[in-house]
């Protein structure tokens, strides 16, 4: 890795390092979240107090708990009821549905565990709210607070089997709302259909839409909470190819006026998705960073459903509860795989059309992921080896020219840098050497280097996978842990990051030893940058540091081989032959612009020293 690569990478990683600071919630955001949670807590306490007072009063007076006025109102009989649980289960998921609100109360992914070995529950209990909002008889109805009835029992299906259960919220004998849940074997879906019967005379005549409200707080599932928060946010689909999301770094909301195909409450490695077969007619979505240390983020979606004044309205949908595994999401359809951050610009296309297919092919052999990453690195570096060769040859040309450049420097001196650069350009032109010849091949390799910076941190397959001393390739390997250091907040040391840094220092030393044009300042920067990377990448996934370690070692090996293939004497002979050609090589646009610039600088009058007239 030469100095041009290091110069480019420093800009990238400085931005990344800065983002760690900028992604932290501000004091104002934390204060706003606490106020919101206090408000919600007060509301819940008020409701609980009212309910408790009614219970105490009823017990003392031996009277019904629910006021007769409420019971006679719309859906009055549903204000109180039995909180019964029905489970829907297949090989992958176990969903519990409560008669209170007719909502999915919790979902467990059966084959997954949290970072500390606990069952992986997507969401649970009162953290989740789900139901319709509408007006009836002058009152606001929130179905999440009402009791549904069901005749269904627990369901367990496998293979090609499927089954369903219906939860009913009754207004009258021929006026009701049904939630129909279904499940089939072998996938991560829960079918969900809303059916309204006879509600055209119940819903307020001024309303042409129902609002479907979904709220949840997603709890920590990964070792690194900061990393999990940085990769968790709300995604939505405006069209099959128009997938967008709210901010990952701050509280955000969006009022969507277009039709929405699906909404996803996405965590780092898992997603809770609600897909509408007919689409939602817009809605408002929100995401907040919680002040609670156990909650990753809070999600809210208020989605509008067109309500027609007819006897029966049907709204077919389904939930997806599963991993953010590229092949799983892509097989599901609807563009869900676009939730996985593959980078921007050329990096995104490199990952989607090169890295992912190659990785999936290697993964099909069921090798350890340490071996898969090794082979992936070898394949990529072999593919890019022509660029590495060209870069090395260019460095060799500059090294051969070093004695002549030193003579020019001694002759011109350092007091006139413009003239010095002019003389250097003349030498490059005579020798037929492009000073950027080593930089351009490295810049062409840069998108591949950065692409893996996005690929590995979002690669679900590495989650929970061990290799050598590394317990989980999807997060950092903390061989030494300690109390957080002031200011920088580091609380561990990653051995794989140290190995990567040592490999980079070795490669830097070698490049400096063979690059005759490198000055002392550039050599100093070359040694300083890997030490910065040590702190920047210390908390990044061990799989990423492992790849960078392998990539650096392989590049170092390539350079050793190429050095044996490239003869400096032959290069010098070619340069001398170029100098003897009667006609100079045609100038490139870059060379012409540089010469024009140098000439302008040379012709400008020198400023007089201070104190002289």
Structural domain spans, the chain: 3-20+348-595, 66-339
Binned at pLDDT 50, 70 and 90, residue 209 comes out as very high
Binned at pLDDT 50, 70 and 90, residue 63 comes out as very low
Binned at pLDDT 50, 70 and 90, residue 68 comes out as very low
Q: What are phi and psi of 61, to 5 degrees?
A: -100, -5
Between β-strands 478-481 and 93-98, what pairing exists: parallel, antiparallel or unpaired?
A: unpaired
- pLDDT of 604 reads 59
The yes-or-no verdict on residue 360 having pLDDT over 90 is yes
The yes-or-no verdict on residue 56 having pLDDT over 60 is no
Please write down the HEC assignment for all residues of 506-563: HHHHHHHHHCCCCCHHHHHHHHHHHHHHHHHCCCCCHHHHHHHHHHHHHHHHHHHHHH
- pLDDT of 563 reads 79
The yes-or-no verdict on residue 18 having pLDDT over 90 is no
The yes-or-no verdict on residue 605 having pLDDT over 50 is yes
- pLDDT of 597 reads 58
Distances (CA, A) of 146 to 79, 143, 209, 261, 335: 5, 5, 20, 28, 35
The yes-or-no verdict on residue 226 having pLDDT over 60 is yes
Q: Which range (43-47, 99-103, 479-483) has the least confidence? A: 43-47
Q: Is the backbone of residue 39 left (phi > 0), alpha (psi -120 to 50) or beta?
A: alpha
The yes-or-no verdict on residue 6 having pLDDT over 50 is no
The yes-or-no verdict on residue 440 having pLDDT over 90 is no
What sections of 62-90 are H helices per DSSP?
Answer: 68-71
Mean pLDDT of the chain: 82
What's the average model confidence in pLDDT over 555-569? Answer: 80
The yes-or-no verdict on residue 58 having pLDDT over 50 is no
- pLDDT of 169 reads 95
Measured distance CA(7)–CA(14) in Å, rounded: 11
Share of the chain above pLDDT 90, in %: 51
The yes-or-no verdict on residue 266 having pLDDT over 50 is yes
DSSP 219-238: EP-SS-HHHHHHT-EEEEEE
- pLDDT of 409 reads 77
Share of the chain above pLDDT 70, in %: 78
Place of tokens 């990096």: 347
Determine the CATH number of domain 66-339.
2.70.98.90
- pLDDT of 357 reads 94
- pLDDT of 96 reads 96
What's the average model confidence in pLDDT over 591-613? Answer: 57
Measured distance CA(305)–CA(303) in Å, rounded: 7
What's the average model confidence in pLDDT over 68-94? Answer: 82
- pLDDT of 607 reads 57
Per-residue pLDDT tens digits for 282-334 = 999 999 998 888 999 999 999 999 999 999 999 999 999 999 999 999 999 99
Binned at pLDDT 50, 70 and 90, residue 34 comes out as low
Tokens standing for residue 39: 């408000």
Longest pairwise C-alpha distance within the chain: 116
- The segment with the largest mean pLDDT, out of 3-12, 89-98, 476-485, is 89-98
The yes-or-no verdict on residue 51 having pLDDT over 50 is no
Per-residue pLDDT tens digits for 364-422 = 999 999 999 999 999 998 888 888 888 777 777 777 777 777 777 777 776 777 777 77
Measured distance CA(190)–CA(354) in Å, rounded: 33
Binned at pLDDT 50, 70 and 90, residue 15 comes out as very low
Per-residue pLDDT tens digits for 231-250 = 999 999 997 678 999 999 99
Please write down the HEC assignment for all residues of 372-383: HHHHHHHHHHHH
The yes-or-no verdict on residue 595 having pLDDT over 70 is no
């Amino acid at each position: 890795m030469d100095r041009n690569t290091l110069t480019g990478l420093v800009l990238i990683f400085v931005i990344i390092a800065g983002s760690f600071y900028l992604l932290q919630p501000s004091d104002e955001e934390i204060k706003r979240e606490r106020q919101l949670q206090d408000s919600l807590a007060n509301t819940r306490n008020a409701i609980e107090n009212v309910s408790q007072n009614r219970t105490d009063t009823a017990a003392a007076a031996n009277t019904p708990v629910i006021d007769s006025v409420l019971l006679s109102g719309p859906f009055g009989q549903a204000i109180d009821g039995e909180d019964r649980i029905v489970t829907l289960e297949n090989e992958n998921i176990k969903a519990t549905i409560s008669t209170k609100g007719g909502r999915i109360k919790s979902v467990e992914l059966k084959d997954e565990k949290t970072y500390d070995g606990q069952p992986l529950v997507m969401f649970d209990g009162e953290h989740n709210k789900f139901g319709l909002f509408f007006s009836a008889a002058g009152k606001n109805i929130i179905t999440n607070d009402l009791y549904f009835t069901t005749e269904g029992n627990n369901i367990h299906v496998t293979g090609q089997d499927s089954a369903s259960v219906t939860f009913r919220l009754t207004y009258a004998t021929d006026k009701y709302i049904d939630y129909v849940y279904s499940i089939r074997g072998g996938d991560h879906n829960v079918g969900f259909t809303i059916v309204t019967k006879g509600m055209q005379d119940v819903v307020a005549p001024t309303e042409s839409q129902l609002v479907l409200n979904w709220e949840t707080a997603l709890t920590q599932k990964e070792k690194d909470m900061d990393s999990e928060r940085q990769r968790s946010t709300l995604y939505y689909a405006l069209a099959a190819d128009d997938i967008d999301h709210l901010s990952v770094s701050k509280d955000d909301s969006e009022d969507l006026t277009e039709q929405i195909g699906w909404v996803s409450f996405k965590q780092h490695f898992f997603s809770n998705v609600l897909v509408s077969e007919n689409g939602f007619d817009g809605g408002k979505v929100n995401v907040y960073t919680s002040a609670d240390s156990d909650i990753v983020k809070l999600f809210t979606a208020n989605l509008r459903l067109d309500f027609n004044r007819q006897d029966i309205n049907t709204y077919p949908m389904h939930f997806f509860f599963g991993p953010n595994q590229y092949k799983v999401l892509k097989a599901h359809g609807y563009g869900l795989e676009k939730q996985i951050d593959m980078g921007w610009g050329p990096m995104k296309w490199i990952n989607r059309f090169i890295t992912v297919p190659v990785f999936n092919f290697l993964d099909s052999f069921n090798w350890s992921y340490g071996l898969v990453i090794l082979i992936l690195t070898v394949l990529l570096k072999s593919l890019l080896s022509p660029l590495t060769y060209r870069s090395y040859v260019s460095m060799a040309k500059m090294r051969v020219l070093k004695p002549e450049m030193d003579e020019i420097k001694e002759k011109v001196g350092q007091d006139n840098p413009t003239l010095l650069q002019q003389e250097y350009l003349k030498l490059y032109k005579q020798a037929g050497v492009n000073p950027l010849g080593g930089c351009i091949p490295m810049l062409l390799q840069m998108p591949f280097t950065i692409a893996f910076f996005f690929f590995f941190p979002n690669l679900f397959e590495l989650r929970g996978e061990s290799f050598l001393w590394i317990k989980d390739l999807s997060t950092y390997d903390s061989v030494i842990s300690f109390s957080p250091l002031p200011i920088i907040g580091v609380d561990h040391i990653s051995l794989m990051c140290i190995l990567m840094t040592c490999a980079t220092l070795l490669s830097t030393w070698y490049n400096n030893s063979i690059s005759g044009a490198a000055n002392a300042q550039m050599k100093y920067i070359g040694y300083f940058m890997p030490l910065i990377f040590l702190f920047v990448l210390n908390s990044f996934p061990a799989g990423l540091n492992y790849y960078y370690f392998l990539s650096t070692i392989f590049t170092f090996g390539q350079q050793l081989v190429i050095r044996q293939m490239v003869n400096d004497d032959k290069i010098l002979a070619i340069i001398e032959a170029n100098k003897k050609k009667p006609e100079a090589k045609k100038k490139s646009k870059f060379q012409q612009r540089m010469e024009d610039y140098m000439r302008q600088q040379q012709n400008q009058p020198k400023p007089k020293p201070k104190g002289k007239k």
